[in-house]
Amino acid sequence: MSADALFDVSREIVLVTGVSGQLGGEYAKAFLERGARVAGLDVRPSAGSDALAAGFRENYLFCSADVTAKISLQQALDQIVSKFGTPTVLINNAAIDSPPSAPPEENGPFENYPEASWNKVIDVNLKGVYLCCQVFGAAMAKASKGSIINVASIYGVVSPDQSLYEYRRKRGDAFFKPVAYSASKSGILNLTRYLAVYWAKKSVRVNSLTIAGVFNNQEQVFLDVYCGRIPVGRMANADEYNGSVLFLASPASQYMTGANLVIDGGWTAI
């Protein structure tokens, strides 16, 4: 196989969930630029997804869907099959977390973390991946072809470093990185292994991609402590995970399933 063919994704039909987010749009663009047909799924479009639709008219389809509602995903599958055919690559990227500006109870001590917040995060981050795999993965298994990439996090592998937020506590905020995000992302790892074994004979590969923080104009004091903790000394740029998803979708990773690819600037090496 030639070097070009080894990483060729031009014949793939790629579905990216959470396409309106920072990373989802990057993943979609990376595949579109290499000739793939891409369906972007999110509850609503963004300026970024609108730009993809304008720039890659024939090869891009936006689907309005909710990853926590199976009927919504089945309707999206019908749209994709009608325009492109059965998806061959699924990137489970959609996820939520409590932002730093969330109400105090969401980012406060574990003992007071709201049950409703736990349910919401687990619903999107873990149940959403489970349902997308049920709907789109099942279609891949029926077609005997597919690569599923479940986006995980360093905080699904190791505990959040709560010392990063000491600067907030010193200025009076009872701030802690919440528990639900970590629990949801660790669940992704074994869901990935389960499905990799379950669909191995159906030629559907299932791998997870564990990533670290991405620069998104965070406040400087946070960047200083975060970048001081990470071995490479900086957060990732939004496009620096594109090579990983392209690899996991391409023939270059055809013998790889049930694995967790860690791209984290060395965070979990410490």
In-domain check, residue 270: no
Q: What is the CATH number of the domain that holds 14?
A: 3.40.50.720
Total domains in the fold of the chain: 1
In-domain check, residue 50: yes
Q: Give the pLDDT confidence of 142-182 residue by residue, as tens digits.
A: 999 999 999 999 999 999 999 999 999 999 988 999 999 99
Confidence of residue 55 (pLDDT cuts 50, 70, 90): very high
d(CA 81, CA 108): 44
**Torsion angles phi and psi, residue 269, rounded to 5:** -80, -15
Q: What is the pLDDT of residue 99?
A: 72
d(CA 72, CA 94): 15
In-domain check, residue 102: yes
Q: Give the pLDDT confidence of 34-54 residue by residue, as tens digits.
A: 999 999 999 999 999 889 989
In-domain check, residue 172: no
Q: What is the pLDDT of residue 101?
A: 72
Q: What is the pLDDT of residue 2?
A: 65
In-domain check, residue 171: no
In-domain check, residue 167: no
On average, the pLDDT of the chain sits at: 96
Closest CA to 140 of 3, 257, 259, 261: 257
Give the contacts of 235 (CB within 8 A, at least 6 positions apart).
212, 213, 214, 215, 218, 223, 226, 227, 265
In-domain check, residue 9: yes
Q: 83 lies in which domain range? A: 3-162+178-218+238-264
